Amino acid sequence: MALRQEETPTNAIAAELRKGLRSLAKAVVVITTSKGGQRFAMTATAVSELSMDPPSMLICVNKSASMHPALADGADFCINILKGEQGDIAACCSGKASGDARFSEGEWLKSSLGAPYLADAQAAFVCRQASHATYGTHSVFIGEVVEAHTSTPYDPLVYIDGRYTRVQPA
């Protein structure tokens, strides 16, 4: 279906956008942060590389998320890319558990900036918060990567059409 903004109500565009985005396969990450001794973790897919000069990433976080106030207050964060076998961690950090109980799945270590990172993640990028902007329901946080942990082979957890899967050869 083709919808144009000038002739279509916003909610109809949003419905088609949501439908179309079901085909946008994304690697699943857990964003972590900490503030005042409290740790937060949240499953996310609205994450992107930004630049290599300086090395930087961006994350999009709903203003209603429990970690949002800490990030809005300038907290640094870590982006943990999950492995295909870490679906339990994704479930734990997207509502199954809350607060510090989200760290009950997996081995979490403290990074140089304080934000927890997952010891056996596919990759983990520790980011010093550099900037943020709010748009609609979400805030975009930009972080300069100060620590990167990587592992191979590449077998990330992938989210597509509302479910978790793994990469298969084309």
Residues that bind ligand FMN (CB under 6 A): 28, 42-46, 60-62, 65-67, 94-95, 98, 159
- What's the min distance (Å) between Cβ of 133 and ligand FMN? 15
CA-to-CA separations, 74 to 25, 47, 112, in angstroms, rounded: 30, 18, 16
- What's the min distance (Å) between Cβ of 67 and ligand FMN? 6
Nearest in space to 71 (alpha carbons), one of 103, 104, 38: 38
67 or 78: CB nearest ligand FMN: 67
7 or 97: CB nearest ligand FMN: 97
- What's the min distance (Å) between Cβ of 80 and ligand FMN? 13
The encoded tokens of residue 84 equal: 């295909």
8 or 165: CB nearest ligand FMN: 165
- What's the min distance (Å) between Cβ of 129 and ligand FMN? 16
36 or 169: CB nearest ligand FMN: 36
